[in-house]
Amino acid sequence: MDTGVEIKDTLYWHWILNHDCPEEKLGVIKEEIEKEYHGCIGKYLFFSENKHELIELGETIVSENDLHQAKVSTKLRDGYTTYVLCVYDAGPNLLDEMKQYKTNTIAYRYWKSDEDTIKGL
């Protein structure tokens, strides 16, 4: 992609970083992450057997929706057959918009708050 999107690899995640994310959105995220259980921050979850499709989708979603970051699992967890794409937002603001990214090979499941993740739900 010819944008400010960058992929950074770590042991467990391919991080998709949007350097063109507007400053006001970054400010909201920074404020929310300081709150207990990260305030209203969470992620939209997509699943696919094709990791590379998810990485491309993550690049598209953060660019088209001015979001700061997303990540795709680098390896399948034991017993799983699909990779996960987590697209972060400072609230479930784009629930309906995310449905458009569902395809025959990519499933869009739902929004999950960081609070639920931290609590193990």
Which residues span the domain enclosing 73?
5-118
Q: Which residue has the higher pLDDT, 24 or 79?
A: 79
Indicate the number of domains in the chain. Answer: 1
The predicted-structure confidence for 44-81, as pLDDT tens digits, reads as follows 999 999 999 999 999 999 999 999 999 999 999 899 99
Q: How many C-beta atoms lie closer than 10 Å to residue 70's C-beta?
A: 28
In three-state secondary structure terms, 60 is helix
Rounded CA-CA distance 46/108 in Å is 4
Q: For residue 48, what are its two tokens?
A: 């696919």
pTM for this entry: 0.86
The predicted-structure confidence for 108-120, as pLDDT tens digits, reads as follows 999 998 888 888 8
